[in-house]
Amino acid sequence: MPEWLVLTLAMLAACSVVVVITLVRHRTAPDDEDPSETPDVIEYMTMWIGVVYAIVLGLAIAGVWEARSAAQDHVQAEAVALHEVSERVRVYPADVRDRIRDDVNAYVGHVVTKEWKHMTEHGEVTDRGTELLQRIRQDVTDYEPRSDFEAQAYQPLLDQVTAADQARNARSNSTGDTMPGVVWFGLLAGGVVTIGMVFALQIRRTARELILAGLFSALIAFLLFLIWDFDDPYSRGVTASTEPFLALFPQFMR
């Protein structure tokens, strides 16, 4: 099911629940009930519950967006490091240079065509990708420089391989959901309490009040969906992409 359809259904469901409860409450309310007699303390509590919940929602959105941005940074760092390895080996003999570049291309091709899909579906990187990166490390470390010029390039190459390995590990650790279950419980429970406090104000079924209550509940549904959509940096919504790899290794563009 498309995510836009899920969002639309969630917002419509939230609006419908609020409207239905309001209408049912209106029909079952005593004839002498006066909405203007809502105690001031209830209005005060409703205001502060809304403020606190808004802060919590803002922090949650900032957290998942930061996690998504960090995930994209990991991909960028990994792609740049591998590109540097591919470029810096130009000072090596042709056979060594070609072997290292072939292994780099094999690793990037695996990440772009196979590992990324596996990562989004299973929340983990592949063992094959780990083996291919290890092969690059062995290619670089096993070569013995034959001149001072090659020796000067040796350590920077090792540093770039290490940077690629670290970025890959960070990418692996950032797969899957970033929000703990207890936080989701608080967000959902807070949403129910916040919307529920609307009924404590004894709203009637006038068009203006129903529209405002419906829009309020739809907004909360939208924000919760936004958090869920950003919660997994590689699988849902505005995800981290393979664009850094494709930009530096254009031969793998489909």
Instruction: For residue 176, give the 3-state DSSP assignment.
Output: coil
pLDDT of residue 201: 65
What CA–CA distances, in Å, run from 229 to 99, 158, 177, 242, 249?
41, 38, 10, 19, 29
Indicate whether 110 pLDDT > 90.
yes
pLDDT of residue 231: 81
For residues 113 and 245, the answer to whether their CB atoms sit within 8 Å is no
pLDDT of residue 179: 82
pLDDT of residue 102: 94
Instruction: For residue 206, give the 3-state DSSP assignment.
Output: coil
pLDDT of residue 236: 63
Closest CA to 78 of 169, 158, 6, 206: 169
Indicate whether 50 pLDDT > 90.
no
pLDDT band at 134 (very low <50, low <70, confident <90, very high): very high
Rounded Cα distance, 153 and 13, in Å: 61
pLDDT of residue 206: 66
Instruction: For residue 41, give the 3-state DSSP assignment.
Output: helix
**What mean pLDDT is predicted for residues 49-78?**
89
| pLDDT higher at 67 or 200 | 67
| Burial zone of 160 (CB within 10 Å; 0-12 exposed, 13-18 middle, 19+ buried) | buried
Indicate whether 13 pLDDT > 60.
yes
For residues 209 and 45, the answer to whether their CB atoms sit within 8 Å is no
Q: Both tokens of residue 154?
A: 């040796």
Closest CA to 62 of 230, 180, 192, 175: 230
Indicate whether 101 pLDDT > 90.
yes
Mean residue pLDDT across the chain: 82
